[in-house]
Chain A
Amino acid sequence: MTRVLSLRIAWRFLRSSPGQSALIACGIAVGIATQIFVGSIIISLQANLLNTTIGSSPQVTIQAIKESDPVRFTPKMKDLVYNDPRVKPGSVAPVRSVPALFSNGTDSSTLGLIGGELKDLDGIYKISDKTIEGKASLGNGEIMVGKEFSQKFNIHAGDSVALALQGGQSGTFTVTGVFDLGSSQFNARQAFVSGKVPQSVLGWANDQYQAIDVQLIKPYDSKAVAASWSSQLPGVSVVEWQSQNASLLAGLTAQSASSYMIQGFVLVAVALGIASTLAIAAVQKTRQIGILKAMGLADRPSGRIFLYQAAILGVAGSTLGVIFSFAILALFSLSPAPFSISMDPKFVAVSACIGVVVAMLSSIVPIRRTSKLDPIEVIQNG
């Protein structure tokens, strides 16, 4: 009963000073909007950076201990890799690769031929999605080349290319498509062919590959996945992207840390703002609290008035903050940005909840002041 009364009084107190209440709610809203905006930018930026770096490359690779040796894709290994729930479905690609040399008479370039099934390679490299000319096809005698290679040698879909292969062998391939994987170095130096091409050049058996390339549902699971596979697959080497991209990871960690710091300071500023305004509000309402206490309102329900005020302001401010953040992101997306910003609903919900909790924590000072107030102080002072 007294809870409802405290809430009712809290609501009336807020309504009696609409300007002050709106100011506090706006303060919370700006803080929460800033937190959501900064957080969303950093999360989107990191996701974009991660996708660019490892989105189109293997995150875990199983290979022979001596790199030039083949690794056998045994039934045990298949069972382990295909049935691991951390592996992204359709993102396991057994590949073979051989070096080749292309020459057009005046200029030449080495080309690494990555051989495999198109559907397997798509799982890692997304070649079909990143074909910018012709079509994605890796049948017998077909090759797909990169954008930079295509531009340098003026080779396009439908053209034939003659390549010198390992051991004095050679072959002629029809270009089916040109891809752009986002890395000019990869586009200039790598090409995709059927898995049978490197197999015949290297003279390997059907289950022998250079590497088994794998992508994961959560890229940051790579360390744990590599460790567990290593222990279950003796005689092979399991490498993962994190150990090979230490500086990128350090950069991402530093970026996260700075983002958390900014968000933390914003919340502290919001908390201090609410605490000081609520403390002033408590002073302004000293007379009313004293009268209520004289009528028998106990310390606890008296203090709850300001807790409820803070909660109401927190909910209103956080809701407004979420709306503000949508508006800011909508404005931001109007300007050309190198990456798209998306808001994670979970992050938005957590931020809004943090706003309410911070507001409620900020009411500690007025709650303590109100609880301690002796009605006689008000009655004696008129």
Chain B
Amino acid sequence: MARSSTTADVFNAIAEAHRRDILDALIGGEKAVGTIVDDLSMSQPQVSKHLRVLSEVGLVASRADGRRRLYRLEPARLRPFHEWLAKYEQAMHDRLDRVDDYLKDLQRQGETP
């Protein structure tokens, strides 16, 4: 069977740990595939394969530099993920506030014997 194309979806793209490592490696600025290979101790075909998936969803972009290609992060494309996560931030904060209240209560009880 021919391989079906990878889901063109940011969530799918970042579900793979190596692809997150590659994004991390690009935070500092654009890099050639060979540099990423050296940084992450992955094979060149492996890195190229992941870069293609990341390019397809727009999380990385590339430009020619002579015979090399330089890859860079396109962090704006993480927006769908960020928006999804933001919904849970409030819930997390509420829960942490409750933990905080509880700890304060405990502390107060400790102070007043």
Partners in one complex: no
B interface residues, Cβ below 8 angstroms from A: none
A interface residues, Cβ below 8 angstroms from B: none
